[in-house]
Amino acid sequence: MRLSVLLFAHYRELVPSPSVEIEVRTGATVREAIARLRAMPGWEDLPEEPTVAVNREYSQPDRELHAGDELALIPPVAGG
Amino acid sequence: MKATGDRTKAPAGDPDPCFVSACITEEPIQAERLLDLGSRADGALLLFVGRVRDHNDGRPVARLRYEAYTEMAERELEAILREAADRCEATRIEAVHRTGTLEIGEASVAIAVASPHRAAAFEASRYVIEEIKKRLPVWKREVYADGSDAWVHAASEDPPR
C-alpha cells in the first residue's frame, strides 16, 4: 500500500517537502516504514527509531500500519 | 484556529469538574482575554505567558518562527490540560500556543488556570508548560540579528512515550 508520511521542521528539510510517499505492505510496522525511508537517498541521517505519531498520537515502533493511516515523523520538539 | 472547548458553554456550577480549552493559532495571543476564566467558586486565577526573548545561549535573536503539527498539537495540548486538571484539581484550564513568525516580546504561549485554591493553580500551570516543552509537536526556528537562522534543539528530554 502507498503510505504518506508527514514531515516537519528538521525532517522536512531532508526532502524538502511536507510529505513523502512510500510503498509498504499492509500491516507493516512503523519500524519497517522507517527502514524504507532510511533506504532512500538523502535519508541516511534519519534515526533508526525516530519519534513518530500514527493518526496524531505518539506511537511505538512495533505499531502496525494500515491503509489510510497518517504516519508523521516528529523531530525533537521545541514548543513553549 | 479552532478551540477544542468553548468556555461560554461552561457556566458557573457546570458539573464538568475539569473544563479545558486548547488552541493552536496563527493569530496574536490576547492573553488578557484569558483573565475572565473560572467561576465565583474559583479563588485563584493564574495566567502564565511565555514570550519571545531577544537572546538565546548568548546570541542575539531577532525573531522566532514556530511550526506545528497543528491537528496533533491541538489534541495533545487538550490531553495535557486534562491531565493537569485531573492531577491538580484545577477547575478550568485554557491554553493557547502560537505558530508563525513572532517578533521579540510577542506571546508564544499563554496558560490560564482557575481553581478554588492557589496551590492547585500553580501546580497545574507548571505541569502544563513543562509537558508542552516535552510533548507538544511544535518546533521553533531562531532568526538571528545577522540574518542567519537555525532550528532550536530543546534541552535533551526523554522522547514522548
Residue range A46-70: mean pLDDT, rounded: 96
In angstroms, the CA B24 to CA B81 distance is: 13
Percent of chain B with pLDDT over 90: 78
**Structural domain boundaries of chain A?**
2-73
> Which domains are seen in chain B, by residue range?
17-151 (3.90.1170.40)
Superfamily of domain A2-73: Beta-grasp domain (3.10.20.30)
Tell me what percent of the residues of chain B surpass a pLDDT of 70: 84
pLDDT digits (tens, 9 = 90+) for B2-52: 444 444 444 444 445 669 999 999 999 999 999 999 999 999 999 999 999
**CB distance B72–A72 less than 8 Å?**
yes
Q: Is the peptide bond before A16 cis (omega within 30 degrees of 0)?
A: yes
Cβ separation of B69 and A58 shorter than 8 Å?
Answer: no
Residue B17: the pLDDT is 61
Please give the distance of CA B92 from its chain centroid, rounded to a whole number. Answer: 14
Nearest CA in chain A to B161: A58
Q: What is the pLDDT of residue B16?
A: 54
Q: Alpha-carbon distance B98 to B109, whole Å? A: 6
